[in-house]
Amino acid sequence: MWERTPSRRWHEAAACAVLCNVDHDDGYAISYKALRRGTTVRSSDGVEVGRVRRVLDNARENIFDGIVVETRSGEHFVDAPEVAQIATRAVTLTISAADVEELPAPRSLLKERWNHATLVRRTKRAGRDFKRRWDNR
């Protein structure tokens, strides 16, 4: 006849049964702007793949671009869609640990500029020489 509603203790026990099976406590979710260097990075299968080296963003538009993960095999760039959650103690990815090793190395604009510096100098010099020759004709 009368159906008894479950007590509050029963709800707490049920919630603990669900939450106590969590392997890692990553802390609470934070913004990518508050993510610190050295934070643990875990793959979707729960394996620790490395640590956060750098956070990349588009500062003008406040858009999260991705993170650079420092692993045993070097640095890898993880794009923003491959980041599932950013928390205080860990970053969780949507890809497996094997996929992280296949990710490309991060781009360095300074290194690219350095590699092209001689080409730029030669081009400017050639332009000056051409202008001087043109004026002296």
pLDDT value for 53 = 94
CATH class of this structure's domain 23-106: alpha beta
Q: Which residues of the chain have pLDDT under 70?
A: 1-23, 114-116, 119-120
User: What residues does 86 pair with on adjacent strands?
Assistant: 91
Amino acid identity for residue 104 in this structure? P
Give Cα 17 to chain centroid, integer Å.
32
DSSP symbols for the chain: -PPPPPPHHHHHHHHHHHHTT-S----SB--GGGPPTT-EEE-TTS-EEEEEEEEEEETTTTEEEEEEEEETTEEEEEEGGGEEEEBSSEEEESS-HHHHHTSPPPP-HHHHHHHHHHHHHHHHHHHHHHHHHHHT-
Cα separation, 28 vs 86, in Å, equals 8
**Domain spans in the chain, listed from the N-terminal domain onward:** 23-106, 107-137
Task: Read off the pTM.
Answer: 0.64
pLDDT tens-digit map of 38-78: 999 999 999 999 999 999 998 888 899 999 999 999 999 99
pLDDT value for 39 = 95
